[in-house]
């Protein structure tokens, strides 16, 4: 799943306008302008389309956490240079204050079945034997479930 797809999905699900998007990036210490945001949101076949890189998507997700939960006192926001689906899922879990049951219900809304053990494997340390990579299919269904849950119409 591309970073642009993730950004477009979150923008639609939470009805985020361009100005709020710019503000969210700013909350994570990244300055962007409206044309840049607009190009990230364009369809892949548009000539003005621009890919959003991991470090920028990370900044958006970190800013989204600050928007939804507030900034932690005394902690500097660190935007990762590379992102995995597992990290995207974790950041969304944190931003929306979700527990495992909430996440399973969101996946269920998208008609995607996952056990609690399978879900917890995505959040383990990658060095543990029970760790599993979050595949695009899981993330795509989670984002679709968010859309169904947070923007049902």
131 burial (CB, 10 Å; 0-12 / 13-18 / 19+) is: middle
What's the pLDDT at 54?
97
Convert the pLDDT of each residue in 41-53 to its tens digit. 999 999 999 999 9
- Alpha helices (H) along the chain: 3-13, 18-27, 34-41, 54-69, 85-95, 100-109, 116-122, 136-150
What's the pLDDT at 146?
97
What's the pLDDT at 75?
79
Q: DSSP labels for 92-133?
A: HHHHTT--HHHHHHHHHHTT----HHHHHHHTS-TTSTT---
In this prediction, the residues of the chain whose per-residue pLDDT falls under 70 are: none
What's the pLDDT at 73?
81
Tokens standing for residue 147: 């859309």
pTM of the model: 0.93
CB atoms inside a 10 Å sphere around CB 72: 10
């Amino acid at each position: 799943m591309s970073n642009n797809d993730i950004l477009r999905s979150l923008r639609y699900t939470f009805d985020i306008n361009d100005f709020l998007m710019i503000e969210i990036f700013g909350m994570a210490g990244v300055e962007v302008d409206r044309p840049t945001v607009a190009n990230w949101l364009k369809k892949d076949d548009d000539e003005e389309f621009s890919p959003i890189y991991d470090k920028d998507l990370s900044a958006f997700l970190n800013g989204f956490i600050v928007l939804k939960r507030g900034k932690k006192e005394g902690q500097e926001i660190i935007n990762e240079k590379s992102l995995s689906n597992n990290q995207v899922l974790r950041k969304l879990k944190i931003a929306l204050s979700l527990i495992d049951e909430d996440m399973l219900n969101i996946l269920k809304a998208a008609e995607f079945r996952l056990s609690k053990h399978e879900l917890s494997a995505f959040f383990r340390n990658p060095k543990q034997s029970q760790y599993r990579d979050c595949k695009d299919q899981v993330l795509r269904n989670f984002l679709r479930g968010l859309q169904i849950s947070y923007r049902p119409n």
